[in-house]
Amino acid sequence: MQPKYVIGIDLGTTNCALAYAEIRQDADPFAPANVQLMGIPQLVNPGEVRDEDLLPSFLYLPGATDFPAGTLALPWDEAGAFVVGRLAQKRGVENAGRLVSSAKSWLSHSGVDRTAALLPFRAPEGVPKISPVEASRRYLEHLRHAWDAKMPDAPFAGQQALVTVPASFDAVARELTEDAAKQAGFKDITLLEEPQAAFYAWVERHADWRERVSVGDLILVVDIGGGTTDFTLIAVTESEGELALSRVAVGEHILLGGDNIDLALANVVAERLAQKGTRIDSFQMQALWNNCRAAKEKLLEPGSKAKEQAVTILGKGTGLVGGTIKASLLREDIDRVLGEGFLPAVASTEMPLRQRRAGLQEIGLPYAADPAITRQMARFLRQQAATAEQGAVRRGRSGMACPTHVLFNGGVLNATLVRERITGALDAWLAEEGMDPVKPLAGEDLMHAVARGAAYYGLARRGRGVRIRGGVPRTYYVGIESSMPSVPGFAAPLKALTVVPFGMEEGTDAHIPGREFGLVVGAPAEFRFFTSTVRKDDQPGDLIEDFGDELQELSPMEVSFQAGEASAGVTPVSFESVVTETGVLQLWCVARDGRRWKLEFQVRERVA
């Protein structure tokens, strides 16, 4: 049965959203897409279910006495073993030790086993934990059930679903996102980069987009979400006499966003409390962090004129009311923290600062060492984007990539101050390069753009809209151990074989001819993978010997391939790489006798 709708899902760090559009086979390919948002039923108070246009990405694991019996029921779940959404966010402010948050950031953390029960992080003894994959599954499952409850004549399983991921997500995080979606009951799923989705939303909202940009223009998409900051460059080109769009550069994974800002604001409030003689412990700080997130969102709501917002956390006393600590988050606190800490005025030559790290560290999320978003942007335009193919991007006198337009996405950018700081930095840098100021592409709903754009892209895949060319946003390599005599105390040198080139399109494959390597079969063996956002010209089969800092290593995999009827040992193989229609990468090892083994870019540390 053919799907009736395309469904766009923004699986966000702080909020999720769902948009959809009807697939009409007889529709004019140039007619408006008519993308719509769906209200998401969720618990907003115990026993109260209400439609909200966003599903907060929070999951609360209730204790035995947290809620009265029967008050966590949903239309599709009478038991209510856990809470997702608005009520989870509210209750987590009071009891942070049972709140799962930032699951998406953990999903991208290569330093941990993301399929292990890690969350809530720092939960007290006795609180059950779940994995980042499981948390993501539950958010997606809630959205699937919500759709089925509201659209009974078009079951979710029969529709085409598109789930967005940060452009900076590597193949491992993408694979895990797809795993979470499959576990949530998704059947027909495609992954789409969030900055591209944001741009698709702008195109969907502006039928005259071809009159707003022209050949040679370079669009910088600045996406600041709850957990990550993404930079993407989209070039306006020409193909067969028509305007075309091509994604030419994607930044590195930067764990820097609303979470960092919320924690900085919590520290400001905590310092003000300390000056008045009230000191808070680490658990109270976690609650204050969540409180400041909610207060910040209220102060930055479009049209808000409030100058402060009350924040309250539980004290250490036994009395529920008498033990509360009251404070306020001021609008001027937000302006100062954003302006001085996250968006300082810097030169385009200023790169992110490196911090000297302590020898021993607590395991946690690998947040960016430098919180200055403007310095991260300068690095992107000078280093990552500067490696794009010659002529693909507009450059200034110094070689810096010089955008003509900027498109904002992410809830943080609802704040006028944030947008003004970013455009001010860009304009100053462009003036130094002898270029005109950047033109903001305005008129988009920053909280729902990614979901709307994903739905539009679903139609575009069916010929009902414009598509951005781009493919895989980085180059991928597999490590090859050099054949050299053993030397005590020294590992054999590792070379990097290019297996997936930058820009390889979904639904295509690449054969690597003329090269054979020895594959260990019948015994456990470790495979090491690498990626690069700056080496864009390497082609399948290129062997890199001295790659230094240009390549970043992904999580290694330990795999035991079956030898079959042949004996265990080393088997000569060649490689074939595949980028599936859903955007997941596969690497096939092909023996001379036709036997094939598949290496998928997964994070499971051991694969049977």
Tokens (6 digits) for 308: 């402060």
388 part of a folded domain: no
SS (H, E, C) 505-567: CCCEEEEEEEEEEEEEECCEEEECEEEECCCCCCCCCCEECCCHHHCEECCCEEEECCCCCCC
- CATH number at 88 reads 3.30.420.40
- CATH number at 292 reads 3.90.640.10
Same domain, 179 and 38: yes
433 part of a folded domain: no
366 pLDDT higher than 80? no
Same domain, 265 and 183: no
CB atoms within 10 A of CB 176: 24
| Region 560-582 average pLDDT | 78
| Region 539-545 average pLDDT | 90
> What DSSP designation does 601 have?
-
Sign, Cα dihedral of 191, 196, 200, 202 = positive
32 part of a folded domain: yes
Cβ within 8 Å of residue 84, ≥6 positions away = 42, 55, 58, 59, 60, 138, 139, 142
291 part of a folded domain: yes
Instruction: Concatenate the DSSP letters of all residues of 376-388 into one string.
Output: HHHHIIIIIGGGS
Same domain, 100 and 175: yes
Same domain, 179 and 325: no
pLDDT of residue 606: 30
Burial class of residue 209 (count of CB atoms within 10 Å of its CB; 0-12, 13-18, 19+) = middle
Question: The pTM is what?
Answer: 0.80
Pick the last residue of a domain from 171, 191, 211.
191
Question: Strand, coil or helix: what is 24?
Answer: coil
pLDDT of residue 604: 30
430 part of a folded domain: no
Percentage above 90 pLDDT, the chain: 43
pLDDT of residue 523: 81
| Residue 482 · residue 229 · CB < 8 Å | no
Tens digit of each residue's pLDDT (9 = 90 or more) over 306-361: 999 999 887 765 444 446 888 999 999 998 998 889 999 999 999 998 765 444 44
Tens digit of each residue's pLDDT (9 = 90 or more) over 184-202: 999 988 898 899 899 999 9
pLDDT of residue 53: 95
Q: Assign 568 a pLDDT band (cuts: 50, 70, 90).
A: low
Pick the last residue of a domain from 293, 311, 342.
342
Same domain, 16 and 99: yes
Percentage above 70 pLDDT, the chain: 89
| Region 597-607 average pLDDT | 50
Pick the last residue of a domain from 150, 166, 191.
191
| Residue 565 · residue 559 · CB < 8 Å | no
| Region 140-164 average pLDDT | 96
pLDDT of residue 128: 92
Q: Assign 80 a pLDDT band (cuts: 50, 70, 90).
A: confident
252 part of a folded domain: no
390 pLDDT higher than 70? no
pLDDT of residue 406: 97
pLDDT of residue 264: 93
E strand residue ranges, 357-403: none
Higher-pLDDT residue of 78, 9: 9
389 part of a folded domain: no
Cβ within 8 Å of residue 474, ≥6 positions away = 170, 250, 502, 531, 532, 533
pLDDT of residue 353: 83
Q: Which structural domain, as residue segments, surrounds residue 538?
A: 475-607
CA–CA dist 58, 72 (Å, integer): 15
Of 352-366, 457-471, 534-548, 579-593, the range with the lowest mean pLDDT is 352-366
278 part of a folded domain: yes
Same domain, 46 and 143: yes
pLDDT of residue 360: 42
Higher-pLDDT residue of 525, 404: 404
Burial class of residue 524 (count of CB atoms within 10 Å of its CB; 0-12, 13-18, 19+) = exposed
Same domain, 31 and 126: yes
Same domain, 299 and 187: no
Pairing of strands 218-224, 596-600: unpaired
Question: Strand, coil or helix: what is 264?
Answer: helix
Number of domains within the chain: 3
Q: Assign 245 a pLDDT band (cuts: 50, 70, 90).
A: confident
Burial class of residue 27 (count of CB atoms within 10 Å of its CB; 0-12, 13-18, 19+) = middle
